[in-house]
A and B are shown apart, each in its own frame.
Chain A
């Protein structure tokens, strides 16, 4: 039942939090961001080998632990608290796409290495407008002779990931293709990202060799599923980030003094903070309710759309409020608030905008109104 935690889930939260507090606290995210470093490879290995996070929700036959979206959400919430970035989100989503593709050979080839922490992966699925579409990227040929040409946007960790799953138009429609890092004709253009904690690239594919993953023409269905998973995991991560912001800001309001009292004694401050706490708790309900629904069910789709809309907008508002309540300090480079603000804006595009998630609700909850043209 929703919101009833098993002891194993509680242990997972505690051990993840402990490891991140020791090895990747918030100041570490800033260090990596300022140095332009993708991630901490030793920690990456520790995550895989000590608590098995990369393989948490992967099938046991491929070296995973067969966990559910709830376990993954717990991990993402903890990561959100410390703005953990790097290859984790894209690797988890790409692995999820491999699982959803039903392609046994591709799974056997990549998933065990992902679970071991030996391989990173990412999705190259966004077209020119940022939506998950094949758009101008096309596939020529078949079998082992497939070649891709086009441009993919917003590829997380795209310049460094070992495996790229690219959405391109195949003979039977949008399909998913595996491209190896360093493949011929592949140019991964490293971008300076708004969100300093998640490396970003634009991929230029020029007759790049690739291999079909799953069915030709099956890309849209696989990615619809992955996009819902992504929305729920981002929502959980946003809950963690908002928790950190609410704690940080409440602490500031309790200790910073002006006009002879803590600024938290003024209702202008107090009430804004109360609204931040409300959005945090509502977001927590939305993210975990969605994670708890049976995969593939109508409620899972509805929950993902609701969380994708609500949590994303709440995070941006909470990041803005954090800066407001910290005053001038909050606007400085030294303060962590901007790292969250940047993350919030990037999140609002990566797995569909809040408005896209709202529009996705119409066929789910108001099917009779889906045909009315806007």
Chain B
């Protein structure tokens, strides 16, 4: 096992990046390193496809602290700022040495929440597995009856005489739940209190009897999400994270974990706009001046979003993601929707039919995915409420049941 890197919390970003790069040169498997330096993407892809090798790599990376640079040193992090951590993410990305996206739920959501609200015992139990990429996490928040109004969730967790928790309910939109080892769960522990004040937050072993994930097929054919049924699931007393009935506040910690240095430094450069224009050039639709102008309009808005992300990175740094995050989410959603519309127009023949038995082509996939971001992770309507209320000081949307005990509210 390697020791964590020794880096000063005041080290400039260039120094941090150089140290990370040195470490990669000393520790990446030589063939992988050579492939990176030669730009040999095929060999890199072969390394990344080798499950056994990647397990060993993520363990090594985790022990170096580079996978979780903003965590405190006592929990295997490097105690660095989000900016310094971003510099490390940039380096890892360049060497194709970072975790895949499913690891985000552990490293980006569960880990930071446990760091803030966990007992020493919970931190000791869970953080090493997250840091070393050994444990896959999933999030069990949304329910069929609680989407935008998450605090109206109905999954029950009842404390039993022996101190354990009996959980019953149904969750939905749970990414990677079908292969997750652990889950972060919000459940109702006191229905006699108003809806925000009777929720608690739990850490759930997904192998507990009664936990049944079922993949949910989306309109674009992908099955990244699941619904998860919880039937008479018994959780140990120490599954509770944070205080009893304090789960809403703990959940907010999770939901506010966006800027954590795991995404690297944002930049302004080529994106989906160029990809769509080239698609139009291949099909010949680029010759249509109206479509051309709309494709360029897309490209403009995508660049402005990139510029806004750069600005947010400079202006708010490590601060909490506020209404500014909602602005970027709203524009991302609009861009994804436009990309779907424009991909189909740029590829009018290909989008309608493909050779039998072949996978969905990219233009059809873009078209069928276009509404995803405007719903997932807080709908565009919710984002507009946040912007109007927090940035412009407009009245909050009325919630007549905010202070009504959960079990006395009207059922929708």
Contacts and interface: CB of A to CB of B under 8 A. Distances in A.
Interface of A: 1-4, 246, 250, 253-254, 261-262, 264-265, 267, 269-271, 273-275, 277-278, 281-286, 288-289, 299, 302, 305-306, 309-310, 355, 358-359, 361-362, 365-366, 368-369, 372-374
Interface residues of B, number: 44
Of residues B278, B296, B381, B383, which shows the largest number of chain A Cβ atoms within 10 Å of its Cβ? B296
Interface in B292-351: 292-293, 296-297, 299-301, 303-305, 307-308, 310-311, 314-315, 324, 327, 330-331
A340 to B, nearest CB: 18
Contact of A254 (B297, B301, B394): B394
Given A3-B315, A277-B387, A310 B310 contact: no
Centre residue among B331, B384, B392 by max chain A CB count within 10 A = B392
Contacts of A309: 296-297, 300
Contact of B268 (A273, A282, A289, A366): A289
B399 interface: no
B395 interface: yes
Interface stretch (B45-53, B250-258, B281-289): B281-289
A373 B292 CA distance: 11
Given A246-B392, A277-B327, A310 B387 contact: no
Contacts of B299: 358, 361, 365
Contacts of A265: 394-395, 397-398
Nearest to A269: B394
A282 B305 contact: yes
B327 A282 contact: yes
A1 to B, nearest CB: 7
Interface in B246-275: 268, 270, 273-274
Greatest chain A CB density within 10 A among B288, B385, B394 is at B394
3 closest cross-chain pairs (CB), A and B: A264-B394, A274-B384, A358-B296
B294 to A, nearest CB: 9
A361 B392 contact: no
A278 B270 contact: no
B277 interface: yes
A2 B310 contact: yes
Contacts of B394: 250, 253-254, 262, 264-265, 269-270, 273
Contacts of B315: 3
B289 A374 contact: yes
B393 interface: yes
A197 B278 CA distance: 43
B388 interface: yes
Contacts of A261: 395
Given A274-B392, A374-B287, 18 more contacts: A3-B315, A246-B392, A253-B392, A254-B395, A261-B395, A264-B395, A265-B394, A265-B395, A271-B381, A273-B394, A274-B330, A275-B384, A277-B327, A285-B307, A289-B307, A310-B304, A369-B277, A372-B281
